[in-house]
Amino acid sequence: MEKQAYLEMVREVAEEYFRSGTYYCSEAVVETINDVLGKPYEDDVVRLASGFPIGMGKAQCLCGAVSGGQIGLGMVYGRKKGEPMDPEMFEIAKGLHDYVKEEYRSCCCRVITRQWAGDDFKSEGRKQHCIAITGNVAVWVVNELIEKGKIDLATAPILQVEKPASEA
């Protein structure tokens, strides 16, 4: 599969995880990246991201999609006890931060979603905005992993997300 087609599939899956209510932003990114990597971590890995939605438990601080992206990067570049830090971890983690800051002027949920202030994440506009950010972050992470040779498109899994029965 060509890279652009693969990245579009990544976007669709990440966005659908969020849109369908299966996951929030951070969880959708983590699940998508675990899927792309061929599930090196059990499905429970998504639980690590469950406190990050809506800027860390509705605190509207660090964007949940960014948090999920950082967890996803840790799946590839992270270390175990006694191992040295992979120097690429900091570089690529900063790259995600810089991408989101350039794209949305901030990595802060409150700033990124300012026009919907006070809606308690209930407006459709805000949800659609956050779904798009979730897809963009998942695509950025996967694209970087492809570019750095951490994902081989020849062997990368084809992703699918089941839509609710009402949409099938």
- What's the average model confidence in pLDDT over 91-101? 98
Total residues belonging to the chain: 168
Give me the domain span that covers residue 51: 3-147
Question: Hey, what are 168's tokens?
Answer: 């099938």
Q: Is residue 16 situated within a structural domain?
A: yes
Q: How many domains does the chain have?
A: 1
Euclidean distance between CA atoms 134 and 24, whole angstroms: 9
Q: Is residue 125 situated within a structural domain?
A: yes
Position 122 confidence tier, pLDDT thresholds 50, 70, 90: confident
Q: Is residue 166 situated within a structural domain?
A: no
Q: Is residue 106 situated within a structural domain?
A: yes
Nearest residue to 104 via CA among 93, 112, 94, 116: 112
Q: Is residue 161 situated within a structural domain?
A: no
Helix axes 25-36, 124-147, angle to 10 degrees: 30
Question: Hey, what are 165's tokens?
Answer: 């029965």
Q: Is residue 156 situated within a structural domain?
A: no
Residue 167 has pLDDT above 70, yes or no: no
Nearest residue to 133 via CA among 146, 153, 145, 116: 116
- What's the average model confidence in pLDDT over 42-66? 95
Give Cβ neighbours of residue 91 (< 8 Å, ≥ 6 apart). none
Position 163 confidence tier, pLDDT thresholds 50, 70, 90: low
The pLDDT assigned to 164 comes to: 59
